[in-house]
């Protein structure tokens, strides 16, 4: 049992590192390719990996059958919008700043679960949500806090991504009661792949051979990290794994410094610390998600 627990922890941490690696590639390639094309690569190559995996294991045809195909499509489109918003923010903002603001998603998920799913949320967790959102406000650095000029409007993009991802998580929990987890995994990238494919004629920039490899790497990193996250929640309880999600803030800061030379300023660090505190208050009491996809806002 102990070895299984540590395996789950290792899988969770590795998945978070791969999520940051994917985001780093996104930011690197935004100088050369439009965001919709990068999002297409993320969903297309990830979908090929997931669909190929299920095809090799057999039973894929049965797993495709959903009791709520409309909800599955909506869920996939929410993830598509989340990716487009987050990736667009990377054009203008440092990786650490974008990641910190995007961590409003787990906090918003708690609030929406109480309002829409009637999940019980006690005063301590509501305080954690309020504290975390205050941290997001600090990270966005509005003038009445920093005393400086207006914050960059691009900070609204990761916040919008967080809102969409929170609704994505709510639908994930709803679908857990309707469909087999394999069905939800298979449908995750379907509508998103179709939607971004329809955008390609309007934005396509022919990639070089080397960049084709990087575009494929984005999708493979997304698919592998998502799979590792699912496996982690099979092997360890959410009460152990969920707090580890906030280590993604550290990896994003390290990657931003090493690759782009970005040094998080005091507002980013203070906001991230407050978000971390609020997030820990909401997840520490041993929450058990209805589906193993609730670990990180970058799945």
61 C-beta neighbours (distance < 10 Å), count: 9
pLDDT, position 3: 75
Report whether 163 contacts 108 (CB < 8 A).
Answer: yes
- In this predicted structure, what is the pLDDT of residue 176? 81
pLDDT value for 292: 46
- Mean pLDDT along residues 175-199: 88
H/E run at residue 9:
helix 2-29
- For residue range 248-294, list pLDDT tens digits in order: 999 999 999 999 999 988 888 999 999 999 988 887 754 444 444 55
Residues 6+ apart with CB under 8 A from 194: none
pTM for this model (two decimals): 0.88
- pLDDT at position 150 is 62
What does the pLDDT look like over 39-85, one tens digit per residue? Answer: 999 999 999 988 888 777 765 566 678 889 999 999 999 999 999 99
Q: What is the distance between the alpha carbons of residues 228 and 209, in angstroms, rounded to a whole number?
A: 29
User: Residue 61: its pLDDT value, please?
Assistant: 61
Nearest CA among 254, 268, 248, 238 for reference residue 109: 238
What gap in Å lies between CA 232 and CA 246, rounded to an integer?
Answer: 15
State percent of the chain over pLDDT 90. Answer: 48
Which pLDDT score is estimated for 231?
Answer: 81
Average pLDDT, the chain: 86
Distance CA 38, CA 28 (A): 11
d(CA 7, CA 111): 31
């Amino acid at each position: 049992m102990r070895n299984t627990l540590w395996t789950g922890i290792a899988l969770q941490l590795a998945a978070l590192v791969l999520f940051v690696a994917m985001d780093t590639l996104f930011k690197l390639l935004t100088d050369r390719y439009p965001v919709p094309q990068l999002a297409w690569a993320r969903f297309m190559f990830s979908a090929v990996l997931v669909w190929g995996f299920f095809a090799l294991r057999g039973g894929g045809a049965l797993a495709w059958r959903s009791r709520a195909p409309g909800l599955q499509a909506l869920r996939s489109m929410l993830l598509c919008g989340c990716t487009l918003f987050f990736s667009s923010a990377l054009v203008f903002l440092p990786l650490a700043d974008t990641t910190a603001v995007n961590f409003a998603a787990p906090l918003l998920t708690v609030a929406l679960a109480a309002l829409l799913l009637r999940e019980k949320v006690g005063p301590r967790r509501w305080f954690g949500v309020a504290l975390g959102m205050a941290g997001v406000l600090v990270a966005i650095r509005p003038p009445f806090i920093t005393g400086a000029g207006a914050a960059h409007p691009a900070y609204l993009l990761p916040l919008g991504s967080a809102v969409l991802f929170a609704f994505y998580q709510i639908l994930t929990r709803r679908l857990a009661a309707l469909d087999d987890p394999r069905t939800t995994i298979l449908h995750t990238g379907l509508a998103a792949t179709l939607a971004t494919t329809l955008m390609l004629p309007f934005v396509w920039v022919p990639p070089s051979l080397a960049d084709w490899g990087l575009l494929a790497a984005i999708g493979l990193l997304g698919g592998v990290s998502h799979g590792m996250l699912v496996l982690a929640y099979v092997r360890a309880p959410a009460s152990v794994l969920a707090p580890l999600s906030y280590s993604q803030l550290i990896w994003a800061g390290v990657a931003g410094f090493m690759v782009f030379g970005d040094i998080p300023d005091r507002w980013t660090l203070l906001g991230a610390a407050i978000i971390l505190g609020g997030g820990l208050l909401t997840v520490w009491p041993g929450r058990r998600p209805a589906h193993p996809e609730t670990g990180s806002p970058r799945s």
